[in-house]
Chains A and B, each alone.
Chain A
Amino acid sequence: MKSFLTLLKNELKLNIRNMNMVIFAVIMPLIVLLILGLLNGTRSAADGVEYTFMEQSFGALCTISICAGGLMGLPLVISEYRERKILKRFQVTPVSPIKLLAVELSIYIIYCLVSMITLIPVAMIFWKVTIHGSWLAFLGSWLLTMISTLSIGMMVGGIAKNSKSASVIACLLYFPMLIFSGTTLPFEVMPEPMQK
């Protein structure tokens, strides 16, 4: 356990020093939130519905950091560590591979948590966003999204030969999901044949 925490501390430090994930997983969702908030304010999502546009988009904003971590950060880190033979160095130490992967996974879970924790108060204070359903269901679906996306990331990191092919595979998965899943572009604005 002690080695896990020491590894986590150092790997997290390295990851933050790298800044990529801080920008894409923490700062970017906040910026998108601000832009959407300033554009839409507390306007309702459509005529005659109870919830505001911001409330509708809030779930999507929370998944930005999950996707950034799971489809950009995690696969790149894993494949880069293999390419640079850092994993080989760990292979000649007594550390178990599961522990090492768990450390990397925890880092991205921390990013997702930080992102959500910063988004919630900002959205609540400035645009009076509330969760209409139960918090438990919201957190549950958030957890499910995170676990499934991060495991896709682990898989990509595992199958890619080097960090270049990892980023290609990650992009192939990331952008269609980003555009067509309804996270960034609301499902309702898509052309009718696509909705079906």
Chain B
Amino acid sequence: MRKSAKFWNLSLLRFTSIPKFSIRKFSDCTFLDNSIECILGTKQADKGQVSILGYNPRKDRRKLFQKVGVQFQECDYQPEIKVSELCEETACLYKTPADWRELCSQFGIGSKIKNDVKSLSGGERQRLFIVLALIPNPEIVFLDELTTGLDAKARRDVWKILSDLKKKGLSIFLTSHFMDEVEVLCDEICILKKGKVVFYGTVEESKAVSGSKKFEDAYLILSGEEVDGE
């Protein structure tokens, strides 16, 4: 972490200066995992301050996380736990939790409530993690590489869910490696290169800045990862 001290300052300052969250995109996974953990306070940044909804995620943890839902990429659960138990255990931590049974049926896993979490398919599990992130009735949700490892159909299902949530006014902080996904879902994007913010704006702006027609090309140019021979 110390090696990349510069990064934490830069990017975290950028985040704090943005008053309102909307769907955003980051790239560059090693820095990315650390930066998300710094934002959420599970890791200590070397310098700088983080503030979400006006709270410091380390000091005001208990107040902040009443209003924020999180899904970590390597999100794990107790072995042998059932869907209902995981939901119940999560719901009991919040003052005004949403009805998890309703959320489960809304996201198409209502019939799986009594199953073991490990017996769910990849898509069902990701939907369960969305449900878990939504249980607090959050104002912001952080979703870390939600669609990695899903098949095309499951991915589209998740997209639909996220778009619906966005329409309802929920702020979503999304990270992804799939440019098609980012283009469809995100209002504002942020591209990181080796941990530094190289672009922040909308998809259209990124195309204009890089002078390319496709967003994926724009991403490759901006992040400096152009494919040889193009």
- Residues of chain A having any CB pair with chain B under 8 Å: 2-3, 6-7, 10-11, 13-14, 17-18, 81, 84-86, 88-96
B65, A84: Cβ atoms closer than 8 Å = no
Chain B's nearest CB lies how many Å from the CB of A168?
A: 21
**Which of A10, A84, A88, A94 has a CB less than 8 Å from the CB of B89?**
A10
Q: Which of B65, B75, B88 contacts A93 (CB 8 A)?
A: B65
Q: Could you list some 22 contacts between A and B, CB below 8 A?
A: A7-B89, A7-B92, A18-B79, A18-B80, A84-B77, A85-B74, A85-B76, A88-B72, A89-B72, A89-B75, A89-B76, A90-B93, A91-B41, A92-B40, A92-B70, A93-B90, A93-B94, A94-B61, A94-B62, A94-B63, A94-B65, A94-B94
List the B side residues contacting A17 at CB < 8 Å: 80
Complex CA gap A13/B68 in Å reads 28
Question: Complex Cα distance A2/B89, Å?
Answer: 11
Q: Is B17 an interface residue (CB 8 A)?
A: no
B75 contacts which chain A residues (CB < 8 A)?
Answer: 85, 89
B198 contacts partner chain A, Cβ-Cβ < 8 Å: no
Main SS of the interface on chain B? loop
Question: A50 to B65, alpha carbons, bound, how many Å?
Answer: 62
State whether B85 touches A13 (Cβ < 8 A): yes
Residues in A with CB closer than 8 Å to B92 are 2-3, 6-7
For the residues of A in contact with B, the DSSP-based class is helix
The answer to whether A92 and B42 touch (CB under 8 A), given A10-B85, A85-B76, is yes
Closest B residue to A92 by CB, please name it: B70
- Asked if B42 contacts A88 (CB within 8 A), the reply is yes
Q: How far is the CB of B81 from chain A (nearest CB, A)?
A: 6
- Find chain B residues with CB under 8 A from A93 CB: 65, 90, 93-94, 136
Residues of B in contact (CB 8 Å), total 28
Closest to B68 in A: A92
Closest to B132 in A: A89
Q: How far is the CB of A47 from chain B (nearest CB, A)?
A: 52
Nearest neighbor of A93 in chain B, beta-carbon distance: B93
Asked if A92 and B85 sit within 8 Å, CB to CB, the answer is no
13 new A-B contacts, CB < 8 A, other than A17-B80, A93-B136, A94-B61, are A11-B78, A11-B89, A18-B80, A84-B78, A85-B74, A86-B77, A86-B78, A88-B42, A89-B72, A92-B42, A93-B90, A94-B93, A94-B95
CB distance from B230 to the nearest CB of A (A): 39
Query: Most chain-A CB neighbours within 10 Å: which of B40, B66, B68, B80?
Result: B80
CA distance A78 to B188 in the complex (A): 40
Q: Which residues of A contact B136 (CB under 8 A)?
A: 93
What is the CB-to-nearest-CB distance from B42 to chain A, in angstroms, rounded to a whole number?
Answer: 5
Which of B42, B77, B92 has the largest number of chain A CB atoms within 10 A?
B92
Contacts of B88 in A (CB 8 A): 6, 10
A141→B66 CA distance, assembly (Å): 42
